[in-house]
Structure 1
Amino acid sequence: MAYLEITLHVDPANRFSAAGVYEKYKQTFLDSIAGATSKELLIRDEDVQVLHGFQSVADAMAYLDSALFTEDVVGELAPLLQTEPDVRVYDIV
């Protein structure tokens, strides 16, 4: 099991739009990405985090290279971001 955590710094005025991108692609992520097991949106005062569950670290890394992530998700989120996202992969042992 592995987790991919992506922390996004989004102006509070744009958080509704960022949440919309999450909702738009959540089911596609779960249905079409190999090894995907879950996807959760975590909203804090200082940032927004998306926590993705995978069967393996390799699955998480492959998602980061997928067209769904690089073209669709990043393409729609990029105008909303104040800084580069913080991307971390965790291996569950």
Structure 2
Amino acid sequence: MTYLQITLKIAEANRGAAAGIYQKYKAPFLATVAGARSKELLVREADLQVLHGFDSRESAEAYLRSELFTADVVASLKPLLDAAPDVRIYQVA
């Protein structure tokens, strides 16, 4: 299992809109992205994290280059971001 973690700095006033974007793209992500296994939104006081589960590192990296991610998700979130997202990939040992 591989996890793609994207940490988003979004003002509290914009978090509802960000959660709406998460909900909008969760089902298409799970239904169409090769190797996708899960997607969760984690809300913290300082930021939001989206944790994506994949079958492999290659699948996670391919998603980052996909049209769904670059043209849809990123474009929708961009006006809400207070800083560049922190993107990390972790593999289960």
Identify whether the pair has TM-score above 0.5, normalized to the shorter chain: yes
Aligned to 2:43: 43
Separation of aligned partners in 2, 1:3 and 1:45: 22
Deviation of 1:92 after TM superposition, in Å, equals: 1.1
Over the aligned positions, Cα root-mean-square deviation in angstroms equals: 0.3
1:70 and 1:90 map into 2 onto residues whose CA distance is 20
Match of 2:38, as an amino acid? S
Partner SS state of residue 73, structure 1: helix
| Whole-Å separation in 1 of the counterparts to 2:56 and 2:92 | 9
Alignment of 1:1-93 (within 5 A): 1-93=1-93
Task: Give 4+ residue runs of structure 1 displaced > 2 Å after superposition.
Answer: none
Q: Equivalents in 1 of 2:81, 2:38: separation in Å?
A: 23
Q: Shift of the alpha carbon at 1:75? A: 0.3
| Corresponding residue SS for 1:71 | helix
Structure 1 unaligned spans of 5+: none
Distance 1:67 1:21 in 2: 15
List alignment gaps of at least 5 residues for structure 2: none
* Corresponding residue pairs, total: 93
Q: How many angstroms apart in 2 are the aligned matches of 1:16 and 1:45? A: 14
Identity over aligned pairs, percent: 59
Question: 2:19 & 2:35 partners in 1: Cα distance?
Answer: 23
